[in-house]
Amino acid sequence: MNHAKQHYDGLTYPKVVVVGGGFAGLEVVRGLANKPFKVLLLDKQNHHCFQPLLYQVATASLGADSIAHPFRRTIGPLPNVAFRMAEVQEVLPERRVVRTNVGEFEYDILVLALGSTTNFFGNQQLAEVAMQLKSISQALDIRSDFLQEFERAMVLREENDLRRCLNFVIVGAGPTGVELAGALAEIRRTVLKREYREMDSELMRIVLIDSNDRVLKNFSEKSSANALRYLQELGVEVQLNTRVAGGDPDHITLADGTVLETNTVIWAAGVKGVLVPGLDKAVNERAHRYTVDRTNQLQGYPGVYALGDIALMEEGDAWPKGHPQVATVAIQQGRHLVANLLRSSNGQAARPFTYLDKGSMAVIGRGRAVVEMGGRSYGGVFAWLLWMLVHVVQLVGFRNRIMVLVNWAWKYLSWKNTIRLIIRPYVREGTAVSRPAALEGEAAPVPHQA
């Protein structure tokens, strides 16, 4: 194994291993490009995924390649950066080694930017039956699922079976849940009504459930009220102060005993950090995140940093319980860490991180969105246009920006979700959803419907 410090252009530089190529990881990689560091990016995927637009892939508005960007296209021109497609299994801090499924990698500086995964809050029953939306493959699963349910409904005769096919339950009324519900409601009003004319589109039911007393709980009351009104205008059934207790492949049960018949449950109720074994002293079990100081360094592990969703940083009275698990935090922490690493290389002291809250936004269908900036709340068409502008600018790669703009333009001019392709069908065991064994792009068999 090579020494931790690597030679680059005849000089010896510290080796920085970045685990995770999300918003924070990419900021670090690009920020250290052509700087006195040898950088290695590790990720189990070969691409960056723009997660804020995953719901549009799931609802057939965008293709997967519109929001994904290959890592090698980003790092190819960067002479001091390398990439390995690898899944991290363990960190060995006493040896300064990251162990992966493709071998071990030494580091001088380790940056963990693994992001988050779905939090089912210990409900294993729901974890087995509910769909998730944290990756492109999961988004494609949802897209295939609702299209298959439409096709199944066309040949069913029993009303109970028909309604179960067309009942879509979304758990969690945060931005992801609200945006998904709004997009499905628009599909009911346009695609289902126009292209499935032999079926009553009003039979499609979209239920949004949340245990809080309002949607978009982390937004202002004005924005929450506007979002609720937009959802209701689109015909979404919103059930607040409601908790899901359990579920089976063909129904879910609420805490009050109510049973909702459905084949499709999408869980958007919470997230937790993706942690790796070996750094247990810094883990906050309650938050399922790493406790870090104001420079994002893990407590008890010099030279190891955590960014974004997995970092729990107490920032005075402003953020006593840590920062929100959103992209803006990850981006700002990534940039701040780069600045501190460059300061350290010049013999200067690191500076503490301060989060600049630039606001929040969520879209609820065409011409309907809520945006909070500068202490003010905006809604309607202005907020919708602002939401589109911000998301296009944040996309990685010029090609992706153009593709998204073209797809949006066609969708909003034609009133059609154009990418309604069942390329990788869902296979159901009974009525339960299970992941197909086929690779993406290969068709897995769908059980015959009588």
Residues serving a catalytic function are 179
In the Cβ-directed half-sphere of 274, how many Cα atoms lie within 13 Å?
19
The count of other CB atoms within 10 Å of the CB of residue 96 is 19
Burial class of 44 by CB neighbour count within 10 A (0 to 12, 13 to 18, 19+): middle
The β-bridge partners of 11 are: 8
Rounded to 10°, the helix 175-187/221-233 angle is: 20
Find all residues with CB under 8 Å of 431, minimum gap 6, and list them: 164, 249, 250, 263
Phi, psi of 287 (to 5 degrees): -90, -15
Rounded to 10°, the helix 327-345/23-31 angle is: 30
User: Residue 396: which H helix or E strand, with range?
Assistant: none
Sheet with 311-312, strands from edge to edge, namely 283-284, 289-291, 311-312
Give the alpha-carbon dihedral of 416, 422, 425, 430, to 10 degrees: 60
Q: Tokens at residue 446, please? A: 């769908």
Sheet with 369-373, strands from edge to edge, namely 360-363, 369-373, 376-379
Strand pairing class (427-429; 432-434): antiparallel
